[in-house]
Amino acid sequence: MAASAGRIGFIGLGMMGLPMARSLIARGFRVLACDTADAARVALAEGSADGVATFAESPAAVAAGADVIVLMLPNSRIIASVMEGPDGLLGALRPGMLVIDMSSSEPAETRRLAALAAARGAAMVDAPVSGSVTKAKAGTLAIMVGGDNTAFAQAEPVLKGMGEAIIRTGDVGSAHAMKALNNFVYAAGLLATAEALRMGEALGVDLGILTDVMNASSGRNIATETKARQEIINGRYAGGFQLGLMRKDLDVAGSIAEATGIESPSLALCRTLWKDAVERFGPGVDNTEIHRFLGSRTPG
């Protein structure tokens, strides 16, 4: 695949986007990137052979130089701006092109933009990722993909340049929905774990043994397995996923609850606590700091 790989457009060289673009380069792809940050462009070019990492000044210029374009941006509002704004992608799309939205976007907005791309003869799939920056660097992300068979076949070789587990989820928009719902369930498990550890601490029990008990029993979840001992008990708080990103995913899940009319009191609680935690600590701290936030709320 690497020898015949073409140029992939890549818009968004942030915390996850930069290592994902580097992973593509490591697997033989050439990347035509676009990002507003000079430091991100320098970081992508550093260590790359001449001509492997090139740069465009606008999304439209990316579309002019690549048939497959990856978007890794903060939210649906910015995705819409990149697609529909001045020098945006939409007006430059050609028949047969593919846009891969790997951001954590709102499903309804994804479907709207996919319809606009289809009207120009292009396709759009949603392909959000699960995994930390470490997995992005290693190219071992889990990637959910929503889209039809033709678009998936076009996207799959590119996605395999960044991920290990590629999971088809259904029609376009379904992957963004499943990513948000998955992260809600993770947040609920992390919240319960953090609360249990706080109560255990107040009781004076051994938190390491409490973690062992949960992991050997029905309370086991990804937070007890990979966050309790590794990030929370030792106070490291460096799991690799920002507090603000978790809040954003919870808000997307909230939009799904509203659209479906499903009451979700546990989701509402998570949204409130993560909103308050972001206001207290800022969006850039690690998501596991929800444990520290709970401690700051405890009297005495």
Question: Active-site residues: which are they?
Answer: 179
Q: Which residues pair with residue 167 across a beta bridge?
A: 144
Q: Which residues pair with residue 199 across a beta bridge?
A: none
The sign of the torsion formed by the CA atoms of 188, 183, 265, 286 equals positive
Task: Measure Cα distances from 196 to 101, 102, 166 in Å.
Answer: 37, 34, 34
CA angle 104, 32, 55 (to 5 degrees): 105
- Rounded distance between C-alpha atoms, residue 60 and residue 102, angstroms: 18
Q: Which two tokens stand for residue 133?
A: 């920056």
- Rounded distance between C-alpha atoms, residue 245 and residue 290, angstroms: 13
Cβ-count burial 59-95 (b if 16+ within 10 Å, e if not) = bbbbbeebbbbbbbbebbebbbebbeeebbbbebbee
Evaluate whether 223 touches 186 at the Cβ level (below 8 Å).
yes
Please give the DSSP secondary-structure letter assigned to residue 48.
P
